[in-house]
Amino acid sequence: MYRAVALAFIKNRAAPSEAAAEALVQDLQIDVRYEAGEQTIYLQGEAVTAQLRTPEVGALASKVSTFAPVRVKLVETQRRIAHQQIREGRGIVLEGRDIGTVVFPDAEVKVFLVADPIERARRRQQDLAASGHYVALDAVKEEMSSRDRRDQERALSPLRQAPDAHRIDTTQLSVEQQVQRILDLVKERKDIEDV
């Protein structure tokens, strides 16, 4: 969602500032829909998921995420979407740097994923390459490190582990193993077999 806001800044040719954010979010419409089993992000009614993974959008997302009007708008949006899913009888899984501490501090299961910085950078580099963007590993690592620092040091909704979150180091885990660990935590909490 923060990438969608960054894309809105780009589409509106708005310089990243608190004042620009205040004006931009007034009429900003972001939605998440599940179509054919895939999550699609909509910005002002346009499907923009494919546009969100560029290095330009990623770098700007980290900057605009520090602006209070953006954070307030997206917390409201995230809660609206989640509550709609719940009203429709579906469970929800959310990911983000303040989901368990700010957006849904009373979530039933919270997970805080960590990994070795080189492994995180390698994974991100692969994601970028898969979308047609080659970035050197050192540059990816430096950008991620800078983003982590900004997110940890921001005054509003800083990146931190919730006290009741389960910390999982994913450095040596495949995606399938990560998912299984999280599903096991949900099953423990919900005492159910069909998750």
* 52: CATH: 3.40.50.300
Whether 129 maps to a domain, the answer reads: no
- Contact assessment for residue 28 and residue 5, using Cβ atoms and an 8 Å cutoff: yes
State the DSSP code for 50.
G
**C-alpha span between 101 and 163 (Å, rounded):** 9
Whether 45 maps to a domain, the answer reads: yes
Q: Which residues pair with 114 in a beta bridge?
A: 169
State the DSSP code for 97.
S
Q: Specify the number of domains making up the chain.
A: 1
- Contact assessment for residue 118 and residue 38, using Cβ atoms and an 8 Å cutoff: no
Percentage with pLDDT > 90 across the chain:
67
Whether 160 maps to a domain, the answer reads: no
**C-alpha span between 15 and 21 (Å, rounded):** 9
Count of other CB atoms within 10 angstroms of residue 157 = 21
Whether 66 maps to a domain, the answer reads: yes
Q: Identify the weakest region by mean pLDDT among 18-27, 29-38, 102-111, 113-122.
A: 29-38
Residue of 11 and 85 predicted with greater confidence: 11
As a whole number, mean pLDDT of residues 136-158 equals 90
Whether 106 maps to a domain, the answer reads: no
As a whole number, mean pLDDT of residues 142-159 equals 88
Percentage with pLDDT > 70 across the chain:
97
Residue of 154 and 26 predicted with greater confidence: 26
pLDDT of res. 54: 87
- The three-point CA angle 177-91-78 to 5° equals 100
pLDDT of res. 53: 85
As a whole number, mean pLDDT of residues 139-154 equals 90
Whether 184 maps to a domain, the answer reads: no
Whether 148 maps to a domain, the answer reads: no
pLDDT of res. 157: 86
Kindly state the tokens that stand for 170.
């994913």
Q: Tokens 């409201």 — which residue?
A: 76
pTM reported for the whole predicted model: 0.79
Range of the domain at 64: 1-91
Whether 37 maps to a domain, the answer reads: yes
Residue of 93 and 193 predicted with greater confidence: 93
pLDDT of res. 110: 95
As a whole number, mean pLDDT of residues 142-166 equals 90
pLDDT at position 137 over 70: yes
pLDDT at position 43 over 60: yes
